[in-house]
Structure 1
Amino acid sequence: MLKKFALSACMAFGLVAATGAQAAPVQTALSIVIDGSGSISSGDFEVQRDAYATVFADASVLKADGSVVINVVQFSSNAQIEQTAIRINNEADRATLIASINAMTQLNGSTAIGDGINLGRSDMDAFLAGLPAAEIATNFSKLIDVSTDAGNNAGASPVVATNDAVGGGYSAVNCLAVGAGNCSFMTGDGQVFSANSFADLQPVLENKVRTELGTIPVPATAALLGLGLIALGAVGRRRLAA
């Protein structure tokens, strides 16, 4: 009997190992829309690119458990997909995303924010349409994340693109303004984040992405308070047992 139980347990373990851990349902679809226009110097574009790669490499910011789908679009006079929508199920998926970001080369040209929003949305929606309903969380949200150092001056209207996205089920189009970046196209519940320059971008970007993905770290004081309460509870239980 014991041998049969052990054999069954080993078979079950082997099945789990072969198939991998079950992914969490998708909670957030995040479309990253990055400015690659000519108003950004080549050095600043590299700083921007490196900031995105660094933020998404942090496992405390982006969980690799299947709960997030991300795509990356770069816009200038037009827009192009840098990373088509990918569900971050594991570290290999994270590495794919970061490699795509690191491979970006600046488009240089005008600033077509609306085209970037529209392309990010269409690519994301095409991916999500292929997911079974059972893999979507009840608190699921779709977001578009724009970063820019200027105002729109080419392509589709970003106001119309934003309204269309919100009307199409997106919770918000958020905007990170770098320097003189203009986020006046935003409507609805979109949030504006600001960085004085590209040198100041990374911490602002991290805060923005944490806000969008719900991975805001617990402040140190709150964490210490929680540990203190746990310790007090343990002491109280010991006293009762005595």
Structure 2
Amino acid sequence: MSGLASGPVTFTYDDADSHLVYSSTGWTHGSGVSYATEYDSTKSFASAAGSKMTVDFTGSTIRLIGLKGPNYGTATIKIDGTTVGTFDGYATTQLHDQVMYVTSGLSTGSHELVLTVDGAKDAPSTGTYISVDAVDLHATDQRSPAGGTLTYNNVSVPNTGAYSLRISYVNPNAADQYATVTPNGGTSTTIALPPTGSSNATGTAIATINLNSGSNSIVIGAPSSSSDTEIDTISIPQPQS
């Protein structure tokens, strides 16, 4: 399955959020027009070895979002004190919204991620910079559906019939939000997305839709005006008939 949304990508924490704690020296925090291509028009960057960024979080999934570029170096990533990965930021051109690290296999509960700038680089790089742009507590990009649609192409099922579409979503609002589900340009079904309690908790909504044998297209749209209600993933466990 592949998804494309017209709404903006949303991450759990911007790099300027208080959940991200930076070592007292070494970091520069940029914001404003000069950083308009970054998430929330901010980014935090450092080049000195030993510069650290720490984020405490709860859950089994975390993604660290940053940049790559011609003057970028390497960093080491630890979770709960154990080295779990390294990030090489070198690229011939500057690249935005890069996944620096991702895991979805942690135990449920509280964790700590620490990124440390190595002060090292690949031979062709002209610097040792590392940039942090956001932290996300979801395994995939979320996009605000308000005013737009989310399209899943190439949704393949074995037989023609009615299927239960499971939609994972986030609704931090106090009231139900609503989305429409339209398979293959046909009849739309409106489903409720009840509150999930916070922007870090997901819920599941189920819509019964008719699909054709083989490849299908499913469009999810939101008539509600809430820009912080987000669709995460969809799945189709078994055909109903």
Q: Shared fold (TM-score greater than 0.5)?
A: no
Q: What's the TM-score bracket when you normalise by the shorter of the two chains? A: under 0.3
Q: TM-score, normalised by structure 2?
A: 0.25
Larger Rg: 1
Q: TM-score, normalised by structure 1?
A: 0.24
Higher helix share: 1
